[in-house]
Every structure is written in structure tokens, then in C-alpha cells.
Amino acid sequence: MVREIDEEIMEERELQKQELEDPKKRWVLKMVKSAKRYHKLCPYYDKKTGMCLLMITVEGVQGKCDRDGRYDGCPVFNKFLEKVYDSYKSRRKVLPNDFQDVVNQAYII
């Protein structure tokens, strides 16, 4: 039992290490961390309607946020940041270091 738990912990650490070695994932994590400095709730969450303003850009369909605006670990939010990363890389532009530089990109990408 203890051995199984140890193996699970080792696998989890290995996965985290691999994620940190991936520059795209590292940048996405950095932006999420930066976003937390400015936004308690997701900046793309419409509190009045509960709609996700990113869904149409990322998924191609309109939809409601099923996370009440909690963006940490949100697949839509992360996918958006990955798209931003790809867009910057394809245009050979310098990646933003601060989430505020990204915040308006939803309507550009």
C-alpha cells in the first residue's frame, strides 16, 4: 500500500517536471500566476449572465462558465493561453511577461 502511494507520488512529480520542461506549459503557468495578481475571478467571466467570453474564441461555441469564474486549472482558460503562445511564436514576437499584456488578446486571436 505504502509502495503504491510512493510510486503514485513519484509519477506525479515526474509529470510535473515534464510539464515545467515544456516551454509552452511553463509560460501558461506563469501567465496564470500573473493573472492571480490582478483577477480574483476570471476576467472573461460575465458575472451577470454566467457566460464565458472565451468559449466562442477557444471552442467555437458560446457557453456558460461551469466554474463560477475560478480560472485556476480551467481548460478553456489554459487553451486560450496556449493559443496566445502559438500566435506569438508563429509571428516570432516576444512573449508577454505579464497577464495584463495578454488580457485583450481574446478578441485578436
Binding site for ligand SF4 (CB under 6 A): 42, 44-45, 52, 54-55, 65, 67, 69, 71, 74, 76-77
Of residues 8 and 106, the one with the C-beta less far from ligand SF4: 106
DSSP labels, the chain:
-HHHHHHHHHHHHHHHHHHHHSHHHHHHHHHHHHHHHH-SS-TTB-TTT-EESSHHHHTSS-EE-TTTT--TT-HHHHHHHHHHHHHHHHTTPPPPSSGGGTTTGGGT-
Of residues 11 and 72, the one with the C-beta less far from ligand SF4: 72
Of residues 28 and 65, the one with the C-beta less far from ligand SF4: 65
